[in-house]
Structure 1
Amino acid sequence: MTRLRASLAALRDRRDAGVSLAELLVAMMVFAILIAITGGFMVSASRASSQTQSIDSATRVATNGMTAVTRTLRAATENPVKGQTLPDAAFPQATANAVTVYAYVNLGSSDATPVMVQYYLDGTALKEKTWPGVVSTDGFWTFGTTPKTRTVASPLVTGTDLFAYVDADGATISLAAGAVPAAKIGSIAAVRVRVQAGTANTSAASTTLVNTVGLPNLDIARDL
């Protein structure tokens, strides 16, 4: 009995003594390690989610821009002009960062009417201007002076040409002062479009699409 009482007293004294400093330090260390692991996982997950959203957004922007430009360029056509033996070339303008084209791609009307469309870089935005066709009494088309303007892709990563022009042999037409020379406008057989959408020139922050658009309405033999 005396021994049992002594054991109970020792156990009571140990319980009353509480947690030692060493035990407290070990517990704090383990807790800190768990917090660090959990915090690191949360930061990594947040960064991965943010990067995925950024890539998805850039891909959508690039796809929308490329679709709009491709649809119009594929419908490029020459424009007959009263008093001229030869029609105007399909491209009134062909520069590194802007292109203007005559096209039968008027989705706002049930009639087959041409439009004149310009795509150009405005800051970090790819914009589209559209002039409606106006037919005269003798059947020739002219184009209004007040275009409709909209943004088709933004933001874009700038610094690289949006457009390059290819002849019937598949060779890139050299630009003079940033534009296709007037003597070469009629030899454009395809347009190479490069759209890089995003916020920085890295694979994690941008998406780049490149497409060479043929011009089936133009009577040009191609070797592309």
Structure 2
Amino acid sequence: MTPARLHHRLRRDESGISLVEWIVAMFVFGIVITLIANLYVSTTRAMDNAQNTNQNTRSASNAMNEVARMLRAGTDNPIQATGFGTPPPNDPAFVYARNESVLFYAFVNLTGTAQQPIQVRLRIDATTRKLYEDIWPATNIGNGYWSFPAESTTPQKTRILADAIAPQTGTAPWTFTYLDASNNPITTSAGAAGGVANVKTTLATIAAVQVSLTILTKLGVTAHSVTLQNSVGLPNLGQNRVIS
């Protein structure tokens, strides 16, 4: 075939992709891309959900373990002069017992070999909703007696146990619910600052604390929240608690 005839044939050859074929191909390509994008978004969302839930679960577990560890070590504080309960004259373990904060004495060996009690405060900040643990050391005043600094003084140690605790709503329990030896809730006043009457005879009836923690990914975001509840006994108080 001569070059001239070959050139003429190529010019008349209409084989290739038509406009209609281009449109169909682009349409199919668009469907495939949409499916891939939707799969990617769904997978990413599922991974984010799983990660947030896992993070909240670990945060709730760590916070609950520490709160329970401290509460379980709650101990009456013997005093030298007059006090509640004889013999011996003791102050009850709880200085106060509120719905979202509690101040109590505990006997926990945190460092070294020294055996001495500490004063512990567990509280939820009303603004940030962070759960804090504050600790004050005791001062040995001799003969097995200890004194503690005022709550207004700067704690020796402060740490955040959880970043975002959901506010109490409706009939949900408060962060701290106080139980007597029969496992019945002790009457409390309303509101976050409310709680068991701040009277030694009443505080001395606390035999266990029910702790309810609802952990949020961040304040105001209830999706993927995790709730843990635990009833913590106080074995050091010597009360014959009924467990049903």
Q: Give the distance between the partners of 2:10 and 2:81, measured in 1 at CA.
A: 118
Q: TM-score, normalised by structure 2?
A: 0.82
Q: Read off the aligned partner of 1:35 and give its amino acid letter.
A: I
Q: State the one-letter code of the partner of 1:119.
A: L
* CA displacement at 1:80 relative to structure 2: 0.4
Counterpart Cα distance in 2 of 1:201 and 1:155? 9
Aligned to 1:179: 195
Corresponding position: 1:92 with 2:92: no
Secondary structure at 1:213 match in 2:
strand
**Alpha-carbon separation, structure 1, partners of 2:179 and 2:221:** 26
Counterpart secondary structure, 1:135: strand
Residue by residue, what CA displacement relative to the aligned partner does 1:29-53 show, whole Å, maximum 9, x if unpaired? 1000000000000000110111111
Aligned to 1:118: 121
Matched, 1:205 2:224: yes
Task: Give the partner amino acid of 1:129.
Answer: D
Which one is further off, 130-139 or 39-48? Answer: 130-139
2:42 corresponds, among 41, 44, 52, to: 44
Question: Aligned-pair distance for 1:98?
Answer: 0.3
> Bigger shift: 143-152 or 210-219?
143-152
- What CA deviation, in whole Å up to 9, does each residue of 1:161-180 have, x standing for no partner? 21000111111111025120
Q: 2:132 is paired with a residue of what secondary structure?
A: strand
**1:173/1:201 Cα in 2 relative to 1: closer, same or farther (>3 Å)?**
farther
Question: Is 1:105 the equivalent of 2:108?
Answer: yes
Q: Aligned pairs, how many? A: 215
- Structure 2 residue aligned with 1:62: 60
Matches within 5 A, 1:67-86: 67-84=65-82, 85=86, 86=89
Partner of 2:176: 163
**2:134 matched residue in structure 1:** 129
Separation in structure 2 between the aligned mates of residue 219 and residue 67 of structure 1, nearest angstrom: 22
In structure 2, the CA distance between the partners of 1:22 and 1:111, relative to structure 1 (3 Å rule), is: same
Aligned pair partner of 2:238 in 200, 215, 219: 219
Counterpart in 2 of 1:152?
161
The SS at the match of 2:94 is coil
Deviates more, 1:91-100 or 1:146-155: 146-155
Q: Distance in 2 between matches of 1:131 and 1:14?
A: 91
Q: Indicate the larger mover: 130-139 or 47-56.
A: 130-139
What is the TM-score of this pair, normalised by structure 1?
0.89
Letter paired with 1:39: A
Structure-2 residue corresponding to 1:195: 213
The alpha-carbon deviation at position 19 of structure 1 amounts to: 2.1
Q: CA deviation at 1:12?
A: 5.7
**Amino acid of the structure 2 residue aligned with 1:197:** I
Amino acid at match of 2:67: V
Residue range with higher mean Cα deviation, 143-152 or 75-84: 143-152
* Separation in 2, partners of 1:168, 1:210: 19
Structure 1 gap ranges (5+): none
Task: Find the aligned partners of 1:109 and 1:217 in 2 and give their Cα distance.
Answer: 22
Identity of aligned residues (%): 41
Q: Could you tell me which amino acid in structure 1 is paired with residue 45 of structure 2?
A: R
The 2-side partners of 1:99 and 1:115 are apart by 14
Question: Matched residue of 1:55: which SS?
Answer: helix
